[in-house]
């Protein structure tokens, strides 16, 4: 049976909250966020949604069914989570809100929270590990 993605997020609602209600774009007028534009932030949000929907979401059922196991060698987590973490790091999601001076992307925490919420919603066990 193919992995089924049960994750759904309303990207337009997130954009409304970030840009119309909280006016995130106003942060991009000055340091430390002047290197990011509203278009950049919308693209990051959209790519986060895609990663959550197409990469993380389909792993939920399988990782829940496989679960964790305590073995004499240590804790064994579902195999799919190893691959997810590799992709998460390769795509730079782990550095989204870290300051640029330490190798991060320097995005505002508000944007990081929105992206993280989608990924958490797609498979909470993934971000817990």
Q: What is the pLDDT of residues 59-113, one digit of tens each?
A: 999 998 999 999 999 999 999 999 999 999 999 999 999 999 999 999 999 999 9
Tell the residue number behind the tokens 């932030």, with chain if given: 41
Q: Is 2's pLDDT higher than 60?
A: no
- The string over 76-107, giving b where at least 16 C-beta atoms fall within 10 Å of a residue's C-beta and e elsewhere, is ebbebbeebeeebeeeebebbbeeeeeeebbb
Q: Contact, 37 vs 31, CB < 8 A?
A: no
In which element (H, E) is residue 55 found? none
Q: What is the pLDDT of residues 15-62, one digit of tens each?
A: 999 999 999 999 999 999 999 999 999 999 999 999 999 999 999 999
CB-based contacts of 63, cutoff 8 Å, min separation 6: 78, 80, 81, 123, 125, 126
CB-based contacts of 94, cutoff 8 Å, min separation 6: 88
Q: Global pTM? A: 0.90
Say if residue 90 is preceded by a cis peptide, omega within 30 of 0.
no
Tell the residue number behind the tokens 């990051």, with chain if given: 44
Res 122: pLDDT: 95
Res 57: pLDDT: 94
Q: What is the pLDDT of residues 8-18, one digit of tens each?
A: 899 999 999 99
Dump the DSSP string for 8-42: ---HHHHHIIIIIIS-GGGGGGSTTSTT--HHHHH
């Amino acid at each position: 049976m193919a992995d089924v993605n049960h994750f759904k997020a309303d990207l337009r609602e997130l954009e409304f909250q970030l840009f119309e209600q909280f006016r995130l774009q106003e942060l991009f007028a000055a340091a430390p966020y002047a290197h990011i534009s509203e278009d950049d932030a919308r693209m990051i949000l959209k790519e986060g949604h895609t990663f959550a929907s197409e990469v993380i979401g389909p792993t939920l059922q399988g990782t829940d069914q496989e679960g964790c196991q305590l073995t004499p060698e240590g804790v064994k987590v579902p195999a799919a989570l190893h691959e997810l973490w590799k992709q998460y790091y390769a795509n730079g999601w782990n550095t989204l809100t870290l300051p640029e001076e330490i190798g991060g992307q320097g995005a505002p925490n508000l944007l990081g929270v929105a992206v993280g919420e989608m990924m958490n919603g797609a498979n909470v066990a993934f971000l817990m590990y």
